Chain A
Amino acid sequence: MIERILITTLLILIGTGAYAVFKRRHVQVLRKLETAVSQTPTILYFASKSCAACPSQARYLDQLVSQWQDRVEVQKIDAEVEPETAVKYGVFTLPTTILIDQQGDVREINYGLTHTQKLTQQVARLA
């Protein structure tokens, strides 16, 4: 049983480690993209009409904007209307939110539905 617990722990660590590495590499690749400088942090919000979780994500982003008002900007990108933009940012699941700081550098990527609390913490680190 001890061996199996160790195998389980190892597989979980490998899985979470691989995800962390993948996400970090994704951010590094996106940092090479030219992004406009802004006075406020920007959130690129990739969605589509057929994405079931996207209305919930929109609601969470609305809550974020109501808290931060003009100190954060949200740009919605319809991945079905602008697939080339989604490909450019390496978006493979919806919704995806990408946080860009005031210098135009990508700092965070969230794959899937992300709650207001987490977005608030991420924006606070950028502000």
Chain B
Amino acid sequence: MRRPSKVRRTYREKEMSTSKERKVDQSALRVNQAFIIGFSLLAFILDNVWLAVFVGVVMLLGTAVPSLALFKRIYQHTLRPAGLVKPDVIVDNPEPHRFAQGFGGVVVALGVVALLAGLSVLGWGLVWLVIALAALNLFLGFCAGCFVYYQLNKLGLPGFRVSPIR
């Protein structure tokens, strides 16, 4: 039995009202980036493509279903309650960060494909690209993926509907 359209409209209105309180925990992002960098470096050093697969899967899964983001869950359920990492919540849009992670996941996936095809230099080069961009974000606070997202938003591309919070 189909839901009446009135219910759907109410759900959409609810979604719009919570968008006014857009917050992002920067500590969760930093922990996520640190894990991505750490595991990616380990994958390269051990020449283990399956570790790279693991990183790619975690990134892509976390993008598609944020509640399944493994590294963020480790932060939420282990690091933060233990007091090892303090939350740093700021007003921000989560979408650009998801896009950045998704883009990174795609690059890692392409790297894995290259590695499995025997193109070692290309494959690890792509993994190192993700390491470099994650390090840029972690240590300098510059999110390249977020920058790209907002540029695409300026161009009015569909799917990039969120503008910078003013």
Contacts and interface: CB of A to CB of B under 8 A. Distances in A.
Interface of A: 1, 4-5, 8, 11, 15, 19, 49-53, 55-56, 93, 111-113
Contacts of B99: none
A56 B90 contact: yes
Interface residues of B, number: 22
Nearest to B163: A50
Interface string B131-154: 010010000111000000000000
Contacts of A51: 164
Contacts of A56: 26, 88, 90
Given A4-B47, A52-B24, A112-B142, 11 more contacts: A1-B47, A5-B45, A15-B135, A50-B165, A52-B91, A52-B164, A55-B90, A56-B26, A93-B140, A93-B142, A113-B141
Interface string B6-50: 000000000000000000101000000000000001001111000
Contacts of A19: 140
B2 interface: no
Nearest to B89: A56
A52 B140 contact: no
B41 A15 contact: no
A113 B140 CA distance: 8
A111 B46 contact: no
Nearest to B93: A52
A82 B98 CA distance: 31
Contacts of B26: 53, 56
A112 B141 CA distance: 5
A113 B47 CA distance: 35
14 contacts: A1-B45, A1-B46, A4-B44, A4-B46, A8-B41, A15-B132, A52-B24, A52-B93, A53-B26, A56-B26, A56-B90, A111-B141, A112-B140, A113-B141
Given A15-B132, A52-B91, A93 B141 contact: yes
A101 B109 CA distance: 48
Nearest to A59: B90
Contacts of B135: 15
B44 A8 contact: yes
Contacts of A55: 90-91
Nearest to B96: A52
Pairs A-B, 5 closest by C-beta atoms: A112-B141, A50-B164, A52-B92, A49-B166, A4-B45
A5 B45 CA distance: 6
